Amino acid sequence: MELDPSCEIKEECGIFGIFAKEGTEAAPSIYYGLCALQHRGQESCGIAVSDTTGPKGNMSSHKDLGLVNEVFKEETLHSLHGNLGIGHVRYSTTGGNSASNAQPLVLNYVKGTLALAHNGNLVNTEELRREFEENGAIFHTTTDSEVIAYCVARERVHSTSVEEAIKKTAAKIRGAYGLVIASPRKLVGVRDPLGLKPLCIGKREDAYVIASESCALSAVDAEFIRDVLPGEIVTITNEGIKPDTSLCQEKHAHCIFEYIYFARLDSHLDGISTYEARIRGGAALAAAYPVEADIVVGVPDSGLAAAKGYSEASGIPFALAFHKNSYVGRTFIKPTQKERESAVRVKLNVIEPVVRGKRIVLVDDSITENNGKKAGWVCKVNGIECSDPANTLANADDKIDLFYNSGWSGMKQARLTPETGEVTRGDSITLTLNGTAVHATDAEAATVAGADIYDGETLIGTTDENGEVAIDSS
């Protein structure tokens, strides 16, 4: 079974923008910035540039499916002229993986030209799209990014500046996002009010840079200045940087997945080193779950630093137990479930002499897709795995859920109401990961019919020929 793409956790892209002095070509710097952000998206990429001394509406762009070094050859870069520009690497968040959904989006409208690159997700996309369509809007992509771009263009018609139009748009959209927007004379960066998506500012001698991660600043020899504040709108022109903090708020909610998985080890997010965050996470895990073992191993790449932290805190030796095929790429970031399952089989191989006969602590932060885990039933009580079914089932207030997991795509749920002994099972379930609801359709009844359901080694129920779940509540 393959999930509807709109129901999967897909939240990461990389964005980059640069405003250089007149006469400087921005495209090569954008290229190197995108290469540094390639880990954030592997499906498509694009660059849009403008010459701030030329006529308004002189935006040129190129985008396509593929990696940065595949899409942009030397002759392509040489055809993109201008000192102001933005770039994007995409992992599809909303909309499918097609060339039409590649970014940046470039719009020609009554006020001129606008280019936009977006990282994140909106939660009110459908509401806004429906409103715009009822008023005559025609959309050419299936992304929420086009909804944002259209909103900016519409607001610009009734605003005195592009910054004002962007501010009005930011007040309307809801969700987790980082934006870089280029008009013919200005570069604008926008971060969501909670600060869920990262965005930072850098400077080198001839340019200002805005990027998803600080590692992209290093790639173009720019010095990190600061992070864009949650809710802040930063405008860069020939006169320098102009910040607008009027939409900032006190409540912040940074995405923990950036620190444990998405960001590069050499990046700093909101003043925190990604590497140090993973080391501390591993140490905290060792303190919470002390065990006796011979070695600690991590699943490459992002699990290695956390495993090292566990090793340092526990005193258990750290070892490298996997060979990673670096040419496969992230399995989580592949666009379809079939691709993810195929990739994981060739991505990692165990180094047998390291693990043979050893008691192992395995640290892996990549639990979202669960492509490498064994299928089976899991019993959870109030969201926590059940280790003592007999006592658990005696607590009338507990919510007891069973999940059948055969990879992310195959999930079944049953719920027992202890006070009545009633078992209910829906045709779909709702999971919450990092605050985002994910729906998985149950289409695997035939594959689990007649199964025994175990919690550990304890038999707690069965499934009948129709896949219905029955739990022994005695």
For residue 88, which of 216, 191, 242, 174 has the smallest C-alpha distance? 216
Tokens encoding 135: 């008023």
Give the closest residue to 10 by CA, choosing from 155, 126, 150, 144.
144
Token pair listed for 439: 């729906």
Least Cα distance to 320 among 352, 281, 282, 365 occurs for: 352
Dihedral of alpha carbons 93, 98, 104, 105, sign: negative
Long-range Cβ pairs for the range 75-82 (8 Å, 24+): 77/27, 77/28, 77/31, 77/47, 80/25, 80/26, 80/27, 80/47, 80/49, 81/25, 81/27, 81/49, 81/51, 82/25, 82/26, 82/27, 82/49, 82/50, 82/51, 82/52, 82/54, 82/58
Residue 38 and residue 211 in contact, taking contact as beta carbons nearer than 8 Å = no
Instruction: Tell whether the torsion through CA atoms of 295, 300, 303 and 308 is positive or negative.
Output: positive
Task: Work out the number of other CB atoms within 10 angstroms of the CB of residue 437.
Answer: 11
Contacts of 204 (CB under 8 A, 6+ apart): 220, 221, 222, 223
Q: Which residue has the tokens 């340019």?
A: 207
Q: Give the C-alpha separation, 110 to 98, whole Å.
A: 28
> In this structure, what token pair is assigned to residue 472?
């022994």
Active site residues: 13
Separation of alpha carbons 219 and 266, rounded Å: 11
Measured CA to CA in angstroms, residue 38 lies from 13, 33, 300, 430, 452 at distances of: 9, 9, 17, 31, 44
Count of alpha carbons within 13 angstroms of residue 191, beta-carbon side: 29
What is the phi/psi pair of residue 215, to 5°?
A: -60, -30
User: What letter represents residue 188's amino acid?
Assistant: V
Sign of CA dihedral 311, 313, 314, 316: positive
